[in-house]
């Protein structure tokens, strides 16, 4: 016989479709590669999961914007015929900005001096000219480019933060006057750049606390993705079950379809973890930001209403389109997403609130997220409205702007499940998860308590009232929090039918007390229909 326990079951109820405490606590699962082969950055190398309360707290623990994990690209200029006094050698680098825009950075223009009489001296003078423009506190230079020379070559190292952007094409250009002859080795053939994972982690933590300065974020690092996404449960357990929502972000590319390593397949695995957490009284909604960089056409993403059954999962495919998030996308070649901002926004909201509420949640600060994009780099503004409607119907989370109204907003809070499901949006699954958390604490003291029976074997009224009395204050508090409709209470008493206990149930034979909660939640104004017309008179 198993240990005594309580079980919770999610019922579909009778609602139709379209039909604080610890609420703000969230978690995010990061995955690392080289150079973090044995653990995450800083103190996360020793303790993989830790809570942070601000960006500075995260920085103190090792998630810093120092690009220490980045490989900076190099190019090599070899002077084969020296220049004469007064001849010039100029170096320009074409750097990539978001949305196909580029900028040309003049690294230096070296003019041969009277003392530069050999190739070795000219190589050294060229390196000195590059370094002369590179000093800048905090970023290693006005240009950020540095150089070192040998007797025959000058090796130029790109500035921090470039990531992979100089690895293709011919971004380095040399222009000469006079007798100079040289050879140029581009980064693609020298040392290629590798992007900074720390810069991306730092970005998401910064965006979380931008959206919710009073938030609490549990951060966990792992080297590889667990095949079953058990990392989600590991994070929640390390957080003592505190997290109301958990984000999952990795650099691993996701494909379309329903198999392993696909968007839909991953969501199914994550839902299994969410179901297990629910049974363990530690429920959490899962926010998943897949790397869809290689999926050039997001309309090929699967319809999550038909291929997923993941009521606890929210699939984030939005991203900044013109500021830091967009630049990180260029520098890294992976989907950045805006999962940090989305998690922070959700943690700042009431559990019943739609994070797409226009009047409550503007994701833009005037710079970051001011131009919304998808996490494959395509700007939302370049996509037809019908296209956006399709992605919305497919249950994806992204960001949009509204005509004549400043800001950037989440399209909807749909979960990855059919619209007919009772838990088809984050506001519903988070609300019901809060009910479970609250009622577990309320009813736990009654586990293994005595049940008194009437002469006919039914439960006594006083016994029933003990359970209702335990449940009532928590329900009333959720009404006061705005997470349940006021009709759930009248004054300080539950209305008939909210908590239902059948007195005739045979607790001896069934081995448990059956309680059914019929809760009236809150609805969302998904649409507003307005009729405009002229009239002959207002009287």
Task: Quickly list DSSP for 106-127.
Answer: EEEEEE--TT--SHHHHHHHHH
- Domain span including residue 528: 456-539
What is each CA distance from 85 to 73, 109, 126, in whole angstroms?
31, 14, 14
Residue 7, domain member (yes or no): no
- Find out whether 218 and 121 touch, Cβ atoms under 8 Å: no
| Reported confidence tier of residue 135, pLDDT bands at 50, 70, 90 | low
Structure tokens at 338: 């805006």
Do residue 179 and residue 203 come from a single domain?
A: no
pLDDT number for residue 2: 56
Is the distance from CB of 315 to CB of 270 less than 8 angstroms? no
| Band of residue 18 on the pLDDT scale cut at 50, 70, 90 | very low
The pairing of strands 245-253 and 285-291 is: parallel
Domain count, the chain: 3
Specify the pTM: 0.92
- pLDDT at position 320 over 50: yes
pLDDT at 55 over 80: yes
Instruction: Report, as an integer, the average pLDDT of 328-336.
Output: 97
Q: 330 in a domain, yes or no?
A: yes
- What ranges in 163-213 are assigned the alpha helix state H? 197-211
In this structure, the answer to whether residues 59 and 101 fall within a common structural domain is: no
What is the reported pLDDT for 134? Answer: 77
* Backbone phi, psi, residue 444, to 5°: -55, -40
Residues 212 and 327 in one domain: yes
Whether the predicted pLDDT of 338 surpasses 50 = yes
Percent of the chain with pLDDT over 70: 94
| Mean pLDDT, rounded, for 386-391 | 94
Residue 472 inside a domain? The answer is yes
Can you give the C-alpha Rg of the chain in angstroms? 29
Residue 437 covered by a domain: no
pLDDT above 50 (res 432):
yes
Q: What share of the chain is helix, strand, coil (3-state, %, to 5)?
A: 30, 20, 50
Element counts in the chain: helices (H) and strands (E) = 12, 22
Q: Are residues 250 and 394 in the same domain?
A: yes
pLDDT at 4: 57
Do 338 and 231 belong to one domain?
A: yes
- Between CA 292 and CA 275 the distance in angstroms is 26
Examine residue 16 and state whether it is found in any structural domain, yes or no.
no
Q: Which helix (H) or strand (E) holds 174?
A: strand 172-177
397 and 465 in a single domain? The answer is no
The mean pLDDT value for 415-428 works out to 96
* Residue length of the chain: 539
The CA distances from residue 74 to 30, 160, 185, 209, in Å, are: 29, 12, 9, 35
Residue 29: how many other CB atoms lie within 10 Å? 25
Position with higher pLDDT, 91 vs 8: 91
Residue 175 structure tokens = 């222009």
Quote the pLDDT of residue 5: 66
Whose tokens are 């209305």? That residue is 495
Read off the pLDDT of residues 220-232 as tens digits, 9 standing for 90 and up: 999 999 999 999 9
The number of C-alpha atoms within 13 Å of 316 and in the hemisphere containing its C-beta is 29
Is residue 496 pLDDT above 60, yes or no?
A: no
pLDDT of residue 411: 97
User: H or E segment at 138?
Assistant: none
Average pLDDT over residues 432-461: 95
Distance CA(514)–CA(366), nearest Å, equals 52
Structure tokens at 472: 């009532």
The answer to whether residues 69 and 41 touch, using CB atoms and an 8 Å cutoff, is yes
Q: Is the separation of the CB atoms in 161 and 138 below 8 Å?
A: no
Assigned domain for 476 exists: yes
Final residue of a domain: which of 152, 185, 218? 185
Residue 257 lies in a domain: yes
Helix (H) or strand (E) run with residue 92 in it: strand 88-96
Residues 6+ apart with CB under 8 A from 22: 242, 244, 437
435, part of any domain = no
> 426 Cβ partners below 8 Å, 6+ apart?
285, 314, 346, 354, 355, 413, 414, 415
Q: Are residues 382 and 254 in the same domain?
A: yes
Banded model confidence at residue 261, pLDDT cuts 50, 70, 90: confident
Exposed/middle/buried for residue 185 (C-beta within 10 Å: 0-12, 13-18, 19+): middle
Show which of 389, 410, 431 is a domain's final residue: 410
Distance CA 510, CA 508 (A): 6
Residues 79, 31 share a domain: no
Per-residue pLDDT of 280-293, as tens digits, reads: 999 999 999 999 99
CA distance 131 to 133: 5
Nearest-CA neighbor of 313 among 341, 342, 284?
Answer: 284
* pLDDT-based confidence at residue 378 (cuts at 50, 70, 90): very high
Q: Same domain for 372 and 246? A: yes
Tell me what pLDDT residue 231 has: 97
Same domain (yes/no): 460, 395: no
Cis geometry, peptide bond prior to residue 18 (ω within 30 degrees of 0)? yes
The verdict on 273 and 322 lying in the same domain is yes
DSSP E strands, 254-355: 285-291, 313-316, 318-320
- Determine if residue 491 is left, alpha or beta; phi over 0 gives left, psi from -120 to 50 gives alpha, anything else beta: left
pLDDT per position as a tens digit, 78-120 = 999 999 999 999 999 999 999 999 999 999 999 999 999 999 9
pLDDT, average across residues 261-290: 96
Residue 355 shares a structural domain with residue 502: no
Which of 354, 376, 410 represents a domain boundary (last residue)? Answer: 410
What mean pLDDT is predicted for residues 49-64? 98
Between helix 324-332 and helix 197-211 the angle, nearest 10°, is 160
């Amino acid at each position: 016989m198993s240990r005594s326990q309580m079980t919770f079951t999610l019922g579909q109820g009778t609602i139709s479709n379209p039909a604080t405490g610890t609420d703000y606590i969230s978690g995010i699962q990061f995955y690392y590669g080289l150079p973090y082969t044995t653990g995450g950055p800083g103190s996360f190398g020793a303790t993989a999961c830790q809570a942070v309360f601000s960006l500075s707290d995260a920085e103190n623990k090792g998630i810093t914007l120092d690009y220490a994990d980045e490989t900076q690209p190099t190019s090599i200029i070899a002077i084969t015929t020296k220049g004469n006094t007064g001849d010039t050698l100029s170096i320009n680098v074409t750097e990539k900005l978001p949305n196909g825009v580029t900028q040309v950075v003049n690294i230096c223009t070296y003019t041969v001096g009277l003392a530069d009489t050999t190739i070795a001296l000219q190589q050294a003078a060229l390196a000195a000219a590059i370094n002369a423009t590179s000093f800048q506190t905090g970023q290693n230079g006005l240009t950020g480019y540095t150089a070192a020379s040998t007797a025959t070559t000058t090796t130029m190292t790109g500035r921090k933060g470039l990531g992979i952007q100089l690895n293709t094409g011919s971004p380095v250009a040399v222009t000469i006057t006079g007798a100079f002859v040289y050879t140029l080795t581009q980064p693609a053939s020298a040392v290629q750049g590798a992007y900074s994972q720390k810069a991306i982690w730092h970005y998401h933590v910064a965006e979380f606390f931008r959206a919710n300065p009073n938030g609490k974020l549990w951060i966990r690092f792992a080297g590889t993705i667990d095949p079953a996404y058990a990392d989600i449960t590991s994070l929640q357990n390390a957080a003592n079950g505190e997290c109301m929502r958990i984000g999952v972000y990795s650099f691993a590319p996701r494909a379309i379809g329903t198999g392993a390593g696909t968007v839909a397949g991953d969501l199914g695995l994550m839902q299994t973890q969410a179901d297990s957490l629910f049974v363990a009284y530690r429920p959490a909604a899962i926010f998943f930001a897949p790397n869809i960089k290689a999926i050039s056409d997001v309309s090929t993403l699967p319809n999550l209403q038909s291929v997923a059954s993941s009521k606890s999962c929210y699939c984030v495919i939005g991203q900044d389109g013109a500021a830091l998030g967009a630049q990180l996308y260029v520098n890294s070649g992976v989907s950045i997403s805006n999962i940090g901002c989305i998690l922070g926004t959700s943690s700042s909201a009431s559990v019943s609130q739609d994070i797409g509420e226009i009047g409550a949640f503007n994701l833009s600060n005037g710079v970051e997220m001011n131009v919304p994009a998808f996490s494959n780099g395509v700007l939302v503004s370049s996509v037809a409205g019908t296209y956006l409607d399709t992605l919305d119907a497919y249950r994806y989370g992204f960001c949009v702007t509204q005509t004549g109204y400043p800001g950037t907003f989440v399209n909807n809070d749909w979960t990855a499940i059919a619209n007919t499901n009772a838990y088809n949006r984050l506001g519903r699954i988070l609300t019901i998860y809060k009910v479970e958390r609250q009622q577990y604490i309320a009813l736990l003291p009654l586990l293994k308590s005595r049940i008194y029976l009437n002469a006919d074997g039914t439960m006594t009224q006083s016994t029933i009232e003990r359970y209702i009395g335990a449940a009532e204050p928590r329900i009333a508090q959720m009404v006061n929090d705005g997470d349940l409709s006021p009709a759930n209470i009248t004054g300080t008493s539950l209305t008939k039918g909210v908590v239902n206990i059948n007195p005739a149930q045979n607790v001896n034979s069934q081995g448990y007390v059956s309680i059914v909660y019929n809760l009236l939640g809150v609805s969302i104004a998904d649409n507003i229909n307005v009729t405009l017309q002229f009239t002959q008179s207002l009287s």
